[in-house]
Amino acid sequence: MTTHFAHAVIKGVDSQPRKASVVASLARDRYVADAVVILENTPRRAARAVRKAIESATANLLNNSSVSIDSKTIRIARISVTAGTRMRRYVPASRGRALPFEKISSNIFVEVAGEEKVKKTAAKAEKEDGKENK
């Protein structure tokens, strides 16, 4: 059985990287099914974006690999949140002034890994070899 990898990147998420990385750490080093359940029940705004990135990477692995992947073995190999573009904005202040501030976006990178499905003919051959050895 060999391990296959796929990734997904979501850029420009309207959430600060510090807040999104807290949500991403909840899903780090888990199986995809467990991570999706955790993120669906997480009351944070960034949880939706992280969940969509994980589901997109999973779909990439299942649809774009040349072999069939066992969906139960798909796990999150790597997840990271980095700072995206910064939009400069201004807030009104007293005496006609305008004070600048920045809206920071996030980039979410998810890499998933999955094991190749064992073919039933190979599994039967292994069982027959085991019976012959006994």
Prediction pTM value: 0.83
Partnered with residue 82 across adjacent β-strands are 107
As a whole number of angstroms, the longest Cα–Cα distance in the chain is 92
pLDDT of amino acid 109: 97
Extents of the domains making up the chain: 3-133
For residues 18-27, average pLDDT? 95
Looking up tokens 């073919």, which residue turns up?
119
Q: Looking at 8-12, 32-36, 63-67, 123-127, which range is the least confident one?
A: 123-127
Average pLDDT over residues 108-117: 93
Q: Measure CA 62 to chain center.
A: 14
Q: Give the Å distances, CA to CA, from 106 to 39, 60, 64, 87, 98.
A: 17, 21, 26, 12, 26
**Which residue shows structure tokens 């890499």?**
111
Q: What CATH number has the domain spanning 3-133?
A: 3.90.470.10
**Which of the four pLDDT bands, split at 50, 70 and 90, describes residue 128?**
low
Residue 131 has pLDDT above 70, yes or no: no
pLDDT computed for residue 66 by the predictor:
80
State pLDDT tens for residues 37-96.
999 999 999 999 999 999 999 999 999 878 888 888 899 999 999 999 999 999 999 999
